[in-house]
Structure 1
Amino acid sequence: MIPAYRPLLMFALVAAPVWAAKPPKIPKDAPYCAPAGMKPVFLSPMGEPFRGTAGQPYPAAAWFAGADSDHDGAVSRGEFVRDAERFFRTIDLDHDGRITPEEVIAYERDVAPEIALYSRSRDYLEVPTHGKPKAGQSNYGGAMGAGRYAWLNVPEPVVSADTDFNRVIDEEEFRQAASRRFDTLAGGEGKLLPAAMPRTPIQIAIEGPCRPRPKPKQGPGGDRRDGPPDSDDRARGEGAAQ
């Protein structure tokens, strides 16, 4: 004879995994999910692009491995600045120690075209927020330009190093910008660790949690858009960790 309580016990054992599998709550301001198969892109704190393959680890790991010259699993201030100097030399095309407006144009066109403020990626990455996040919200929204692919919300990481606004970035300005950005990311720890770095907006859109993309809408000119129209086009300065 089967005890009366046994069917209830069996039901509880079967149902428990279902209750435990409840999906996490998605923040109201989470970005829209990226299209399936989208290739991941990471822009280093100084603006160097690293492009990955769909389904592979996010390419921030590639930058980290290159900057970590002593292979101790962390990036120190010295390593961070030296990596910035290395990248500076790749975009200083005439090797005169300065990045001129013409070289900035070449950088934005040929090296990191993803930083364009009005690229199609904004349709699903940008969910603008105004003011401090409210209860139940995150700070996912608002990334601009390069900030969509980076740890810092700096729309144009090369130009923003021009602290004297003379439209030319010399190596010392770039070096000082690198030191400031290291401070922002390190948060007083003195080094950067991969596990401590925030996820970029595009990484969140690819890996989640993200919001399901809405059905395409008919735009004013008849074009079809995959996300909501932009409502906050204000560029940002040095930025903060996202």
Structure 2
Amino acid sequence: MRPIHLLLPLLIAGTGLASAAGAQGYLGIGMNQNIFFSPSGQPFRSAANEPYPVMKWFQQVDTDKDGKISHDEFVADATHFFNSLDLNHDGYINSPENTNYETKVAPEIQVVDPRVKQPKNYVAQPDDSGQVSDPTAGRYQKQLIGASQYGLIDEPQPIRAADANFDFRVKSDEWLAATNQRFTILDRNGDGFITPDELPKTPSQLASEMPPPDAKKGKKKRFTGN
């Protein structure tokens, strides 16, 4: 099993999903829907005037409808999605099947959403003598790309992330190991269940809740001389 630090959660400002209302109707340039990727990489979509689709996933996984996701429910949902991607049913998601995932199941993974706010990267500045204390600072720029834009965990490609031995295919036991790690990450209080309030907002969700650019520009006050 890979170290859990390889699957660090995407820490995002804001409370969980308890206050997650609908989108504000602004979807950015070229975007016509809101998108959520489950921890396994399954896409869920909704129109601008509908709630952000994270609860579509939550309700799908919560099969006993008790308002929380158990480990067994989480694994069952991930296994079902694995089987849907394993088109030839040989127990692996191979490269052609992964390509099918990227191009047909979740094509949004290949583009950068213009709405998503990218993290600021530190670049060291020279001191008074003109020397830079860390010449490597800023060389490797962090970006939110792929599924990281739409997911609860910072994994740009959830299928490839489960390939523990880097043989370009994901076996069912590798998938289970990754699924267990993802559950541990999202079960933030360690009680064996995932509840809506434990889930951070995705970068895409935060973007969908921002007002349109025009709304940020307040009307100029007319000078009256008073």
Query: Do Structure 1 and Structure 2 share a fold, with TM-score over 0.5?
Result: yes
Return the structure number with greater relative CO, CA threshold 8 A, min gap 6.
Answer: 2
1:110-136, Cα deviation, whole Å (9 max, x unpaired): 0001111xx241x331423236xxxxx
- Contact 2:146–2:156 under 8 Å retained in 1: yes
Q: Which residue of 2 aligns with 1:30?
A: none
Q: Which residue of 2 aligns with 1:216?
A: none
Q: Which residue of 1 aligns with 2:178?
A: 177
Q: Which residue of 2 aligns with 1:92?
A: 86
CA distance in 2, matches of 1:211, 1:62: 25
1:135-191, Cα deviation, whole Å (9 max, x unpaired): xxxxxx842210101111100001110001111101111111011011011122321
Residue 162 of structure 2 is aligned to residue 161 of structure 1? yes
1:195 Cα deviation after fit? 2.4
Q: 1:207 aligns with which of 201, 205, 209?
A: 209
- Contact 1:91–1:103 under 8 Å retained in 2: yes
* Cα 1:177/1:120, change in 2 over 3 Å: closer
Q: Which residue of 2 aligns with 1:124?
A: 115
Q: Which moved more, 1:65-74 or 1:33-42?
A: 33-42
Q: 1:193 aligns with which of 184, 192, 195?
A: 195
In structure 1, runs of 5+ residues without a counterpart are: 1-25, 28-32, 132-140, 214-242
Q: 2:73 aligns with which of 72, 79, 94?
A: 79
Aligned partner of residue 36 in structure 2, secondary structure: strand
Q: 2:82 is matched by which residue type in structure 1?
A: F
1:49-79, Cα deviation, whole Å (9 max, x unpaired): 0111111111111111110111110001111
Q: Which residue of 1 aligns with 2:222?
A: none
Return the index of the structure with the highest Cα Rg: 1
- Contact 1:162–1:168 under 8 Å retained in 2: yes
CA RMSD of aligned residues (A): 2.4
CA distance in 2, matches of 1:198, 1:38: 23
Q: Which residue of 1 aligns with 2:9?
A: none
Aligned partner of residue 199 in structure 1, secondary structure: coil
- Contact 1:97–1:170 under 8 Å retained in 2: yes
1:34 Cα deviation after fit? 4.0
Q: 2:36 is matched by which residue type in structure 1?
A: F
Residue 64 of structure 2 is aligned to residue 62 of structure 1? no
Q: Which residue of 2 aligns with 1:238?
A: none
- Contact 2:40–2:78 under 8 Å retained in 1: yes
Residue 41 of structure 2 is aligned to residue 35 of structure 1? no
Count the aligned residue pairs. Answer: 170
Q: Which residue of 2 aligns with 1:224?
A: none
Q: 1:35 is matched by which residue type in structure 2?
A: G
- Contact 2:85–2:101 under 8 Å retained in 1: yes
CA distance in 1, matches of 2:158, 2:192: 22
CA distance in 2, matches of 1:144, 1:202: 11
Aligned partner of residue 72 in structure 2, secondary structure: helix
CA distance in 2, matches of 1:149, 1:193: 19
Q: Which residue of 2 aligns with 1:53?
A: 47
Q: 1:199 is matched by which residue type in structure 2?
A: K
